[in-house]
Amino acid sequence: MSDNNMVKIKDVVKSFGQHQAVKNVSIDIKQGEFLTLLGPSGCGKTTTLRMIAGFESITSGEIVIDGKSVASQHPYERDVNTVFQSYALFPHMSVEENIAFGLKMKKYSKAKIKEEVERVLNLVQLEGYGKRKPDQLSGGQNQRVAIARALVNNPKVLLLDEPLGALDLKLRKQMQIELKHLQQKLGMTFIYVTHDQEEALTMSDRIAVMNDGHLEQLGTSREIYETPKTKFVADFIGETNLFEGEVVDSSEINAVASVEGNQIPIKPIDGLSPNKDITLTIRPELTWIEGSEPSNGKPSLQGKYVENIYVGSVQKVIVALPSGKNIVINESPMNASDLSPGDEVNVCWDVDKAGVLTS
Amino acid sequence: MRARTKKVLFSWTILVYIFFYVPILILMIYSFNDSKISTSWQGFTFDWYNKLFSNSAIGSAVLNSLTVALFTTLISLIIGTTAAIALYRYDFPGKKYIDLLFYLPIVIPPIIIGVALLTVYARLKVALGIQTIIPGHVVLTTPFVTMLVMSRLQGFDHSLEDAAKDLGANAWNTFWRVTLPLIFPSILSGALLSFTISVDEFVVSFFTTGPGASTLPVMIYSMVRTGVTPEINALSTIMILVTVFVVLLAEKWRGTLNN
A58-62, A354-358, B14-18, B69-73, range with the lowest pLDDT: A354-358
> A101: nearest CA in chain B?
B167
Q: Residue A187: inside a domain, yes or no?
A: yes
* pLDDT: which is higher, A184 or B59: A184
Q: Is the ipTM of this complex over 0.85?
A: no
Looking at residue B259, what is its pLDDT?
44
Here the CATH number for the domain that contains residue A183 is: 3.40.50.300
A40/A183 same-domain check: yes
Q: pLDDT band at A2, cuts 50/70/90?
A: low
Choose one of A228, A250, A281: the last residue of a domain: A228
Neighbouring residues of B39: CB distance < 8 A, sequence distance ≥ 6: none
Together in a domain, A122 and A184: yes
pLDDT at B225 over 50: yes
pLDDT for res B256:
61
Quickly count helices (H) and strands (E) in chain B.
Answer: 12, 0
Report the pLDDT value the prediction gives residue B58, as an integer from 0 to 100: 85
- Using CA atoms, how far apart are residues A64 and A58, in angstroms rounded to an integer? 12
Residue range B63-96, pLDDT digits in tens: 999 999 999 999 999 999 999 999 888 888 888 8
- Residues A90, A145, single domain; the answer is yes
Cα B180 from Cα B176, distance rounded (Å): 5
Q: Which domain holds residue A306?
A: 239-358
Same domain for A190 and A68, yes or no, is: yes
By DSSP bridging, strand A315-320 and strand A326-331 are: antiparallel
Contact A76 B170 (CB under 8 A): yes
Please check whether residues A270 and A224 belong to one and the same domain: no
Query: From the candidates B159, B167, B180, which should be mutated to test the interface with A, based on the most A CB atoms within 10 A?
Result: B167
Q: Which pLDDT value is given to residue B38?
A: 63
Residues of A in Cβ contact (< 8 Å) with B168? 76, 102, 105-106, 153
* Mean pLDDT across A296-315: 88
| Rounded-to-integer distance, Cα B68 and Cα B61, Å | 11
pLDDT at A303 over 50: yes
In this structure, the answer to whether residues A272 and A211 fall within a common structural domain is: no
- Answer with the residue of higher pLDDT: A311 or A334: A311
What is the longest distance spanned by two Cα atoms in chain B?
Answer: 72
pLDDT score at B169: 94
Q: What's the confidence (pLDDT) of residue B220? A: 87
What amino acid occupies position B192?
L
Residues A37 and A115 in one domain: yes
* Cα(A297)–Cα(A66) distance, integer angstroms: 53
Residue A218 shares a structural domain with residue A271: no
Where would I find the H helices in chain A?
A: 45-53, 95-105, 110-123, 139-151, 169-186, 197-203, 221-226, 231-236
Residue A234 belongs to a domain: no
* Residue range B182-199: mean pLDDT, rounded: 91
Chain B residue at shortest CA distance from A152 = B167
Which contiguous run of DSSP H or E holds residue A14? Answer: strand A5-16
Window B:89-118, CB contacts with A under 8 Å? none
Calculate Rg over the CA atoms of chain A.
25
Instruction: Look at chain A and report how many structural domains it folds into.
Output: 2
pLDDT at A336: 64
Residue B34 pLDDT grade (very low, low, confident, very high; cuts 50, 70, 90): confident
Domains of chain B: 56-258 (1.10.3720.10)
**Percent of chain A surpassing pLDDT 70:** 99
- Measured between its terminal Cα atoms, the distance across chain B in Å is 36
Domain assignment of residue A69, yes or no: yes
Q: Please identify, among A228, A255, A285, the residue that sits at the C-terminal boundary of a domain.
A: A228
Residue A98 placed within a domain: yes
List, as own/partner pairs, every contact residues B73-77 make where C-beta atoms lie below 8 angstroms and the sequence separation is at least 24, other chains included.
B73/B141, B73/B191, B73/B194, B73/B195, B73/B198, B75/B134, B75/B138, B75/B142, B76/B137, B76/B138, B76/B141, B76/B142, B76/B144, B76/B145, B76/B190, B76/B194, B77/B145, B77/B187, B77/B190, B77/B191, B77/B194
Min mean pLDDT across A141-150, A161-170, B51-60 is at: B51-60
- Of A54, A55, A153, nearest to B167 by CB-CB distance is A153
Which one of A228, A249, A265 terminates a domain? A228
How does pLDDT run across A149-190, given as a tens digit for each residue? 999 999 999 999 999 988 888 889 999 999 999 999 999 999
Put simply, the answer to whether A76 touches B162 (Cβ < 8 Å) is: no
Residue A148 sits in the same domain as residue A118: yes
A184 shares its domain with A54: yes
Q: Give the closest of B163, B168, B177 to A88, CB-based.
A: B163
